[in-house]
Amino acid sequence: MVARHVDKSASTASMADRKILPRSRLGGLPMVDMTIIYITANEMPNAWTEYQIDTLKKAAGEFPIISVSRKPINFGFNMLDTAPKSYWNIYAQLFRAAVISDTEYVAMAEDDVLYTKEHFNEFRPVANQVSYDRSRWSLFAWEKTPMYCLRNRVSNCSLIAPRKYLIDALSERLQKWPHGYPDDSKVGEVGRSIVEKNLEVSFRNMTEWYCINPIVQLNHVNGTDDRQKTKWKKHGQIKAWDIPFWGKAEDIVKIYENNY
């Protein structure tokens, strides 16, 4: 694990009128420590959505889920997103959901990512840092012969963070730019120094870790990133046709294409 950044001037903005969800209990066991925040634009094919949510439910186990969607869905505690689609809005919705959760940690879950149980259970960062699981294989749905690749960067889809620390970071962004940041291409992950420099907010501590069973991120033309719409994204240096746990890349893409 590699620690990044030094927390210089943490914002402590208070949140008024918080709505708190009931805590989830595992029978007589202690309360679970993390809430999974699932964000979707409701634009993925039905076959993929059914498979991805079923996979996420198995990976989540007893962790409570807050879903944020543009259409009502029956998945965890559902909140509606009515704001324009953008990177800025993803972080605004992440903030909304984190505020109403009441667990010590929150984890991000996106609708085009396949998650494993190990991803949600193996690691927790300390109270003053966010974390990203770098065991993340990417797929490009538009390729004739799909392959996995490892891209050398962190991704918000793999975020696990202390809830209060994340709320503080996102609150500072929203207060600094109440109408959103003017250049959406420069919006990005909490803890990335270039992003926080562009947004003119405090640098946040970040650590990276590697899960034993990886997550898989599907890149597709409905994604928020313009490079996906134009099919311009490039492979990382490490590639594979087949990986443990998930199997062949082409079989994952077939589910998205509803040809499985």
Per residue in 215-255, pLDDT (tens digit) is 999 998 865 555 444 456 678 789 999 999 999 999 999 99
* Three-class SS state of 36: strand
Q: Where are the domains of the chain?
A: 32-137+154-178+188-219
Q: Can you give the pLDDT at residue 228?
A: 46
Q: Residue 152 gets which letter from DSSP?
A: S
This prediction has a pTM of 0.85
**Candidate from 90-104, 169-183, 233-247 with smallest mean pLDDT:** 233-247
Q: Give the model's pLDDT for residue 232.
A: 61
Domain 32-137+154-178+188-219 is found in CATH 3.90.550.10: yes
Counting residues of the chain whose pLDDT is more than 70, the rounded percentage is 83
Mean pLDDT of 119-123: 97
Q: DSSP assignment of 181-244, as one string?
A: -S-GGG---TT-HHHHHHHT-----EEEE--SS-EEEEE-TTSSSHHHHTT-----SEEESEET
Q: Quick check: 39 pLDDT over 50?
A: yes
* E-only strand ranges, 85-158: 105-110, 113-114, 130-133, 136-140, 148-150
Q: Tell me which of 13-22, 58-67, 126-135 is least confident.
A: 13-22
